[in-house]
Structure 1
Amino acid sequence: MLEENNLSTACRAASMVEEGRIHKQLYSDEAIFEAELDKVFNSTWVFIGHESEVPEAGSYKTAWVGRQPVILSRDRKLQLHVLENRCRHRGATVCEKRKGKSKSFTCPYHGWGYGLDGSLRGLPKEEEYKGVFAKSDMSLVNLRHETYNGLVFATYKKDIEPLEDFLGGAKKWIDLFVKQGGGYPLKVLGEHRFNFPGNWKIQLENTTDAYHFPIVHKSFISSLDDQTADIFDFLDGEGFVEDLGNGHSVMVMIPELTDLEENLDEPIPERFQKLAEELRQEGVAEPEVKRLVRAAHGTGFNLNLFPNVSCSMAFFRVLRPVSVSETAIHHVALGGEGAPEAFNRKRIRLHEHFQGPMGFGTPDDGEAWERVQKGSIAGPDGWIMVNRGIKNLHQSPDNNPAGEVCSETGMRAAYQQYKKMMSSTEDK
């Protein structure tokens, strides 16, 4: 009966997505939220983390697939695993730390011990289970997982398409995004987390929405030098938003920063000379100085990967649905593994300037998201527009639908994938 109710609710939610508008109940209906956890988050590839977060044997980090806790671990053979964070005995979580290094995971309730690969290694009074079960049958649940260019994804769906097929047209943009390591492998440098009182789809929309930038982020723009502020005045520029398929999209705000390995022969701008000099003092050769300076400030685009992560200019923004009106956000600062100290320090300072908890961007975005949630329960008009630019589309060079940088092409891409998944009658 519960599955029938979820299916009925999911179909109702799918009917609330039209070509250029969605119904506000998608933000506030608790039954729809519960159906989304099953039909979306438990039924597709979900971003778990970056390989650099578990660099060595024994390294681990905890993460989520929707509301289900998981562990990303690297075993003694350096193989990655995504394990359900739930003891097979009485269901307690076996790991509570966000990250660390360990030889095993042990349930704090009854002492069942598991290897980094999830295998059950030992348990108190093992003889009492003789003839009851085999230890090999009681490993932690291993989720199917695959990686692309260092990004790790996992899924509960048994017969899902390969990750690379799911990413499709987004792979090109992931490849461009990771170039901001400046010639070094991309590495997680730090993170911060916060919750906001709003639905997860509100945040999903945000990183493909250039329209809000000059309004919500006035304080950020006012903090920049004149030349940098001009670069962020991109609504009338040559940028675009492209539907990449499967709910993914890219919003290119600063086209000249799409490929960070282009134009390396150009002189270093005056405003970046301080960083250049710091790199030279570390003994970095001039060609590499130019590469690092160009990469230090991030790409000129936001890449949205449905349903839970954005590769946003210079950082990962990961969302996690907590309830119909609460979402957890995980901001991940990125740098280069083995890169010069001045480069990684600059990356952290830039992250703090906009994304950090005391930055100019995150508090303003958070207030806007909260207001959207509050407004979703106001008034008799039930529809929210996502139709900007819908009559002004063109085909991208990759033959995808694309619109101007301030269009809502990316939002429509995500909602059409949402509609498809909520309409599906397939089993996981």
Structure 2
Amino acid sequence: MWFRHPRVSHSFRNPYFPTKTMSTPTYQTIDTSALAKRAESDRIAPSLYYDPELFEAELERIFYKTWIWVAHDSELPKPGDFVTTTIGRQPVIVVRDKTGAVNVLQNRCRHRGATVCEEHKGNAKGFTCPYHSWSYALDGTLRALPYGDGYEGVCEKGDLPLKKLRVGVYQGLIFASFNQTIEPLEDFLGGAKPWIDLFMKQGAGYPIKANGEHKFKFKGNWKIQLENTTDLYHFPVVHKSWMKSIDEETAAAITSFMTSDQAFCRSLGNGHSLAVLMPEIVDLDNDDGAPIPERFQELAAQLAEKRTPEEVRRIVRSLMGVGFNLNLFPNLALSMAFFRVLRPISAEETEIRHVALAMEGGPEEANRVRLRIHEHFQGPFGFGSPDDAEAWERVQRGSYAGPDVPILVNRGLNRETTAPNGEKTAHSTDETGMREAYKQWRAMMEQA
């Protein structure tokens, strides 16, 4: 049987903390021929959600091999600005150096392994290990170590910088990879690039900036959340409470994708996918002339005191972001008006960050409205995130029932079309995006 039954306990040991008696980690010898059966084109094995050995292999073959989103350019406006984050289990520092370049450094002293920075964000002239005071420059260079006579003829400072990851930036999105020979970021993003360009237009002529975040964990596998971003099928079911809390005009506009022939889901290659739910605001440069919604009339009047009618309409039309969700494999979603970032913690636990967006230098009253909209759905006391997290955790718990019964991702196969460039398109509620993600998952996991 190709499905692995859940186990209450197991003897697997963490490959990153080996002992003398530890044998070769089992994830290194996973039967790659069996992976195809565990993640077929239209169904997956429930064990993909809870197999700890498979999870270790995912860290090694996906998160430590491909491009991972780590920060937004707006979080590092000045030299010395930094944020810390984690790729898989590995802590890293994202920092802008004195030349203006962005570096992503392993947050680990080269001496005895202590982290050299524990702050989530800030500004620094360098990083100093609190254990033995080895100090490093913003580019990772080892600047000094105390009592250096103990190292004369033993090692050279130039040989012991903080390890650097490869860095790529597209439209202010900063990605990093442990894989120094990985393909260029723009090649990896491929068909997603035009949609990233459209997403960034929600600045209404102003640059986009990160405007705070909400972080939480749920008891479930990271792939459950990965599936969710382009899953519009769940929206009118899971988010009934949110729709009851807003005006009828907004609710009708957002759920129109259920019957619209202009809404769609599409695979974009390399695991990336797209779900269009409000076609009228996909490209915010194209004004359809629709009246300003009643709920934004007061704001529009305030903005009109200092701005042209065209500027007012552009700002107001961008308040809810763009009319689509874009999934960038494996850890970032550009979801209408915010970033959703996932971090796998274990096979059965995932951390989620919801990053609010604002217009850098834009009108504060409009940014305030954007933030209130974000809080209403994505915030810790919002209506959307708790309902999503509950659904994700129920999927995780349910996956243990019937380990030989597959999880289906086959919706829309009967109406999916394929373009000459290989992109597949189906109805907005179909599972084309999930199939694309698992296609990339399988390709990366089957690599030795």
Q: What TM-score range do you get, normalising by the shorter chain?
A: over 0.9
**1:268 aligns to 2:292 (yes or no):** yes
Q: Which AA in structure 2 matches 1:21?
A: R
- In the alignment of these two chains, the number of paired residues is 424
Are positions 1:279 and 2:303 aligned together? yes
Query: SS state of the match for residue 258, structure 2?
Result: coil
* Cα distance in structure 2, aligned partners of 1:287 and 1:398: 37
Distance 1:92 1:287, change over 3 A: same
Q: CA deviation at 1:268?
A: 2.6
CA distance in 1, matches of 2:227, 2:417: 21
Aligned counterpart for 1:199 among listed residues 221, 229, 235: 221
Of 26, 29, 36, the residue aligned with 2:58 is 36
Could you give the per-residue CA deviations for residues 216-238 of structure 1, whole angstroms, max 9, x where no partner exists? 00011111111111112221213
For 1:374, the equivalent position in structure 2 comes to: 397
SS in structure 2 at match of 1:391: helix
Could you say which residue in structure 2 is the equivalent of 1:153? 175
The answer to whether the 8 A contact 1:14-1:422 is kept is no
> CA–CA distance in 2 between the matches of 1:388 and 1:137?
54
Q: Report the equivalent of 1:8.
A: 30
Report the alpha carbon displacement of residue 106 of structure 1 after superposing the two structures with TM. 1.0
1:404 and 2:427 matched: yes
Distance of aligned partners of 1:101 and 1:365 in 2 relative to their CA distance in 1, 3 Å threshold: same
Where do residues 408-419 of structure 1 align in structure 2 (5 Å cutoff)? 408-419=431-442
Cα distance in 2, alignment partners of residues 379 and 241 from structure 1: 30
Question: CA shift at 1:7, angstroms?
Answer: 3.6
2:324 to 297, 301, 304: 301
Q: 1:337 aligns with which of 337, 343, 360?
A: 360
C-alpha deviation, 1:34, in angstroms: 0.4
Hey, what's the Cα distance between the residues in 2 that align with 1:27 and 1:121?
44
Cα distance, 1:261 vs. partner? 1.3
1:174: which partner in 2? 196
Give the SS at the match of 2:86: strand
Q: CA deviation at 1:5?
A: 4.3
Residues 10 and 422 in structure 1, CA contact (< 8 A), matched pair in contact too: yes
Aligned residue number for residue 82 of structure 1: 104
* Structure 1 residues 276-318: Cα deviation after superposition (integer angstroms, max 9, x where no partner): 122234x233221111111111111000000001000100000
Q: Given residue 82 of structure 1, which amino acid in structure 2 is its aligned partner?
A: V
Matches for 1:124-135 after TM superposition, within 5 Å: 124-135=146-157
Root-mean-square deviation (Å):
1.5
Taking the aligned partners of 1:116 and 1:12, their CA distance within structure 2 comes to 45
| Aligned pair partner of 1:325 in 345, 348, 351 | 348
Q: How many Å apart are 1:265 and its aligned residue? A: 5.0
Equivalent position of 1:184 in the other structure: 206
Structure 2 match to 1:23: 45
Q: Which residue of 2 aligns with 1:218?
A: 240
TM-score (norm: length of structure 2) = 0.92
Q: Secondary structure at the match of 1:249?
A: strand
- 1:57 CA drift (Å): 0.9
Q: Counterpart in 1 of 2:388?
A: 365
1:327 maps to amino acid: T
Of 64-73 and 144-153, deviating more is 64-73
Cα shift readout 1:27-74 (whole Å, capped 9, x = no counterpart):
010000001000111111011110001111110001122221111000
Offset of residue 392 of structure 1 = 0.9
The answer to whether the 8 A contact 2:42-2:408 is kept is yes
Offset at residue 399 of structure 1 (A): 5.4
Q: Kindly state the Cα deviation for residue 381 of structure 1 after the two structures are TM-superposed.
A: 3.4
1:58 matched to which residue of 2? 80
Unaligned runs of 5+ in 1: none
**CA–CA separation in structure 2 for the residues paired with 1:50 and 1:90:** 31
- Offset of 1:264 from its aligned partner? 6.4
Whether contact under 8 Å (2:169, 2:175) holds in the other structure is: yes
CA distance in 1, matches of 2:260, 2:420: 18
1:219, 1:60 → 2: CA distance? 38
The 3 A distance-change label for structure 1 pair 18 and 295 is same
Deviations 1:136-185 (A, max 9, x none): 11110000011001001111112111000000000000000011111111
Alpha carbons 1:20, 1:385 under 8 Å: kept: yes
Q: Deviations over 1:108-144 (max 9, x none)?
A: 1111111111111111112211111111111100000
* Identical residues among aligned pairs (%): 55
* Alignment partner of 1:246 out of 270, 273, 280: 270
* C-alpha distance in 2 between matches for 1:15 and 1:270: 52
Find out whether 1:117 has 2:152 as its counterpart: no
TM-score by length of 1: 0.96
Letter in 2 for 1:125: Y
**Counterpart residue type for residue 60 of structure 2:** D
Letter in structure 2 aligned against 1:156: F
Contact 1:221/1:232 (<8 A) preserved: no
| Contact 1:47 1:152 (8 Å CA) reproduced | yes
- Tell me: CA distance 1:4–1:367, structure 2 relative to 1, closer, same or farther (3 Å): closer
Indicate if the aligned counterparts of 1:196 and 1:366 stay in contact, CA closer than 8 A.
Answer: yes
Distance in 2 (alpha carbons) for counterparts of 1:276 and 1:395: 42
1:316 maps to 2:328: no
SS of the equivalent of 1:212 reads helix
Q: Which residue of the partner structure matches residue 14 of structure 2?
A: none
Q: CA–CA distance in 2 between the matches of 1:55 and 1:86?
A: 24
Whether the aligned pair in 1 keeps the contact of 2:27 and 2:56 (CA below 8 Å) is no
- Measured after TM superposition, the shift of residue 4 of structure 1 is 6.8
Contact 1:10 1:39 in 2 (8 A): no
Residues 13 and 96 from structure 1, CA distance in 2 versus in 1: closer, same or farther, beyond 3 angstroms? farther
Q: Quote the offset at 1:11 in angstroms.
A: 5.0
Counterpart CA distance in 2 for 1:10 and 1:330 is 32
Tell me the amino acid that sits aligned with residue 360 of structure 1. F
Q: Is the 8 A contact 1:9 1:32 kept in 2?
A: no
